């Protein structure tokens, strides 16, 4: 949404709240602006633009962001993500290191399955366990 539209919606929010006799707070104004913008289709247009960008074949495994001032969609890869090179030929894990990684993975799986843990911690634990699984699958044990 551009600045002019946002300014108009903020003014409408203030006028509506004064009309209703409701105290004007930043949270209420933000809620009004977001609701009205979604109603007017701005959010839907931005979501559609992001989905179009992410659907392009060259944008696999990337993140998209919308500039709320201009509505422009930017696509970029996350640092540290994306395709990784194959391990060095002949690389292998010692039995001790393999066991360490398996124990770490098992602990992470327990954290990911624990319903009492915060959701973001559970997601991170699952992702880390998946990375370890991938590493264990790609590297053989040393004899």
d(C-alpha 129, C-alpha 105), whole Å: 5
In a domain, 84, yes or no: no
Same domain, 67 and 100: no
Looking at residue 64, what is its pLDDT?
Answer: 67
In a domain, 89, yes or no: no
| 136: nearest Cα among 108, 110, 111 | 108
d(C-alpha 8, C-alpha 13), whole Å: 9
Mean predicted confidence (pLDDT) in 16-38 = 87
User: Per the structure block, which two tokens stand in for 124?
Assistant: 């991170």
Tell if the pTM clears 0.85, that is, is over it: no
In a domain, 83, yes or no: no
Domain span at 32: 3-76
Looking at residue 51, what is its pLDDT?
Answer: 73
In a domain, 27, yes or no: yes
Same domain, 16 and 52: yes
| 124: nearest Cα among 136, 107, 139 | 107
Same domain, 65 and 37: yes
Looking at residue 18, what is its pLDDT?
Answer: 93
Same domain, 72 and 100: no
Residue pair 61/81 in contact (Cβ under 8 Å)? The answer is yes
Number of independent structural domains in the chain: 2
Percentage of the chain beyond pLDDT 70 is 67
Mean pLDDT taken over the chain: 79
d(C-alpha 134, C-alpha 125), whole Å: 14
């Amino acid at each position: 949404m551009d600045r002019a539209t946002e300014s108009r919606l903020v003014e409408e929010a203030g006028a509506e709240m004064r009309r209703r006799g409701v105290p004007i707070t930043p949270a209420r104004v933000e809620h009004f602006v977001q609701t009205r913008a979604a109603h007017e289709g701005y959010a839907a247009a931005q979501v559609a633009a992001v989905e179009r960008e992410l659907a392009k074949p060259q944008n696999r495994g990337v993140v998209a962001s919308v500039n709320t001032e201009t509505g422009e969609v930017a696509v970029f890869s996350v640092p540290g993500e994306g395709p990784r090179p194959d391990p060095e030929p002949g690389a292998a894990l010692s039995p001790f290191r393999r066991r360490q990684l398996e124990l770490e993975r098992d602990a992470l799986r327990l954290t990911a399955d624990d319903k009492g843990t915060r959701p973001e911690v559970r997601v991170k634990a699952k992702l880390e366990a998946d990375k370890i699984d991938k590493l264990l699958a790609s590297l053989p044990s040393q004899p």
